[in-house]
């Protein structure tokens, strides 16, 4: 297949960090043999176990995020139902206030220009709330069953 194994390494150990293409033919062959040993069956099993672990971790994180989003949605619905039972007028005023706050955040987000002076804390809170609600709503759209 090529050079015999007994060919001395002209560069010595100084060339071991060079890429395979930059080495001489015997050095490249030795480097390839070493890579094959590194990627042996044991290495494949280890990489497979690591990938399965990563996949399982991603699955758990996704399940946790979905559970939190759906629990928050259920909590909002339960709070709205409880408020409607006790005082429909107060519930309507609260919902209208939340909608106005979100509209203010959207307005602040849409009209912000580069180089303009910083907005106040209320505007920052409104924008943060809008971003949170939008991300949360998109997440719910993905996980709520369609009719």
Mean pLDDT of 6-34: 63
Is 55 within a domain? Answer: no
- Per-residue pLDDT, 20: 53
Q: What is the pLDDT of residue 59?
A: 92
Both ends of the chain: CA-CA distance in Å?
Answer: 65
Residue 114: inside a domain: yes
Is the confidence at residue 60, as pLDDT, over 90? yes
CA distance 146 to 53: 32
User: pLDDT tens digits for 5-14?
Assistant: 444 445 455 5
Classify residue 106: in a domain, yes or no. Answer: yes
Q: Do the domain assignments include residue 3?
A: no
In a domain, 116, yes or no: yes
- pLDDT tens digits, 92-147: 888 898 889 888 888 887 887 766 667 788 888 888 888 888 888 888 788 777 76
Would residue 37 count as lying in a domain? no
User: Is 132 contained in some domain?
Assistant: yes
Is residue 39 one of the residues assigned to a domain?
A: no
Q: Is the pTM of this model over 0.85?
A: no
- DSSP, collapsed to helix, strand or coil, labels residue 119 as coil
**How many distinct structural domains can be found in the chain?**
1
Q: Which residue has the higher pLDDT, 37 or 86?
A: 86
Long-range contacts of 66-71 (CB under 8 A, 24+ apart): 66/139, 66/143, 69/136, 69/139, 69/140, 69/143, 70/140, 70/143, 70/144
Q: Which domain holds residue 137?
A: 87-143
């Amino acid at each position: 297949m090529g050079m015999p194994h007994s060919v001395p390494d002209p560069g010595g150990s100084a060339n071991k960090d060079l890429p395979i293409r930059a080495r001489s033919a015997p050095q490249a062959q030795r480097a390839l043999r070493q890579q094959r040993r590194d990627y042996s069956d044991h290495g494949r099993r280890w990489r497979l176990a690591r990938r399965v672990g990563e996949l399982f971790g991603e699955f758990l994180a996704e399940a946790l995020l979905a559970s939190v989003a759906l629990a928050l949605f259920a909590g909002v619905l339960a709070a709205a139902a409880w408020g409607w039972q006790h005082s429909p007028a107060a519930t309507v005023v609260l919902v209208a206030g939340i909608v106005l706050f979100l509209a203010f955040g959207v307005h602040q987000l849409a009209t912000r220009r580069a180089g303009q002076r910083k907005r106040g804390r209320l505007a920052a809170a409104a924008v943060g709330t809008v971003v949170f609600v939008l991300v949360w709503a998109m997440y719910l759209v993905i996980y709520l069953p369609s009719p």
